[in-house]
Amino acid sequence: MSDGIDEDERLSRLGEWLAGKRRRVEGQVHAKVHRHSPRQSQVGIEHRLPCPLDNHVGWRISTRETLLPREHFSSYAAAHLKGAANRNRAIYCHDDLLGQVIAALAYHVDERPRLPLLITQIGFRADHDLSRLVRQRSVAGALVLKHHAHAIAAKLDRGGYVDVDLPRDDKLLELAAQLGFKAAPKVKGFRPGGVHLRQAAPV
């Protein structure tokens, strides 16, 4: 990068832009809500991110199932996301600059309406020779997808905030902190398997 902006500042600017365009992002989330069985609610997203920031022009967000190459994503993340896509519970961020998926996200909608939308997998790039550029774009792509998860949570009447249950992995927890996640309050009826985190709805 040659514009003199460090990674944290770049991510912060993107987060501010996404929060400011919350309604616009929600407008790109098309949800067919099933009131009696929330798990059957259908969500569709297919749009170009209209972000004017140089590094994100042309990004495409989609719920269409996409193959995640083994050389780009861990086998566990790819398998989990494939299963989620079969249930209409996955989102992908396509980067036209690289011509690749740079991040993907899977989520769960519980039958109990009082439980928040739960992110079950954040697919960061895990290339063997991961470059700084791809790593930065992957984290930024995950941030974009997280904001779409907020929009889905709002459309499905889950409060607009999102939770995640992560394994006790320092690297994953550091990435989650970069995305804005913090310790979640206890949720009645939910027993996390790892570290339970929450991100408030963007304002």
Domain parsing of the chain, residue ranges: 7-199
Phi-psi domain of 184 (left: phi exceeds 0; alpha: psi -120 through 50; beta: other): beta
Q: Which pLDDT does position 4 carry in this prediction?
A: 55
Which of 3.40.630, 3.30.43, 3.40.50, 3.40.640 would CATH assign to domain 7-199? 3.40.630
Q: Which pLDDT does position 3 carry in this prediction?
A: 53
**Which amino acid is residue 180, in one-letter code?**
G
Q: Report the C-alpha gap between 147 and 199 in whole angstroms.
A: 10
Instruction: Name residue 108's beta-bridge partners.
Output: 118
pLDDT > 90: percent of the chain: 80
pLDDT in tens, 42-84: 999 999 998 888 778 779 999 999 999 999 999 999 999 999 9
